[in-house]
Structure 1
Amino acid sequence: MRALRAAAAAEAASLVVLLANLLSVHAEPVASLVGPLHGTAYLAAIALTLMTPTASRAARWLSVIPGVGGLLALRRLRADGTDGTEGTDDTGAANGGPPGAR
C-alpha cells in the first residue's frame, strides 16, 4: 500500500508541475523530464491497484482516471476498508485501551 501511495502522490504532483509549466514558461526541459515521470507514475498506480487482491471493482476502475486516478483509488480502498489500515487509528497505532482513553 505504501508503494501505491507514493505512485499516486507522484502522479498528482507531476501533473501539477506539467500544468504549471504549460501555463507559464512552457520550458521544454521540464516537460521532457516530468512527462515520462508522470506516465510512469500513472502506469504504476494502475498496476499497483490491480495487484491489490482486495481492491474492489470500483477502485480498479478509478485507478485508470488520468492524473488523479491513484488518489481516487486510494480513497476508495480506504472507504472499503481494504487498504491495510483496519485495526489502527489515524496515527497507525493499534486501537484499543481503556474506554474513553481517546
Structure 2
Amino acid sequence: MRALRLAATAEALSLALLLGNLLTVHAPALSALLGPLHGTAYLVVIAATWTVPSAGAPGARWRALVPGAGGLLALRRIEARAPAGHSAP
C-alpha cells in the first residue's frame, strides 16, 4: 500500500510539473526528465493497485487507469472501503 501511495503522489506531482513547464518556460530538459518519470509512476500505480488485495473495492482497480489522478482516486476508494476502525497500512 505504501508503494501505491508513493507512486500516486509521484504521478500527480509529475503531471502538475509537466503542465506547469508547458504553460511557462517549456524547458526541453525538464520535459525529458519528467515525462518518463510520470509514465513510470503511472504504470507503477496500475500494477500496485491491481496487486493490492484490498483493491477489490468496486471500481478501485479501474480508477487507477485514469491518467494523472487515477492513483489518488484508487487510494481514496480503497481507504473508503476499509473496515471501520481499521486504517490501511
Per-residue CA deviations over 1:43-85 (Å, capped at 9, x if unaligned) read: 0001000001221240000000000000000000000107xx8
Give the RMSD, CA atoms, in angstroms.
Answer: 1.9
Unaligned runs of 5+ in 1: 93-102
Identity %: 56
**Number of paired residues?**
87
CA distance in structure 1 between the aligned counterparts of 2:80 and 2:3, rounded to whole angstroms? 18
Q: CA deviation at 1:87?
A: 5.6
Dislocated runs of 4+, deviation >6 Å:
none
Q: Where in structure 2 are there 5+ consecutive unaligned residues?
A: none
> Normalized against structure 1, the TM-score is what?
0.79
Letter in 1 for 2:70: G
Larger Rg: 1 or 2? 1
**Contact kept? 2:79, 2:87, Cα under 8 Å:** no
SS in 1 for 2:12: helix
Indicate whether 1:23 and 2:2 are aligned: no
**CA separation in 2, counterparts of 1:29 and 1:66?**
22
Q: How does 1:34-73 map to 2 (within 5 A)?
A: 34-55=34-55, 56-73=57-74
Q: TM-score, normalised by structure 2?
A: 0.91
Q: Which has the higher contact order (CA 8 A, sep 6+)?
A: 2
Q: Which has the higher helix share?
A: 2
Structure 2 CA distance for aligned equivalents of residues 33 and 10 of structure 1? 13
Paired residue secondary structure (1:54): helix
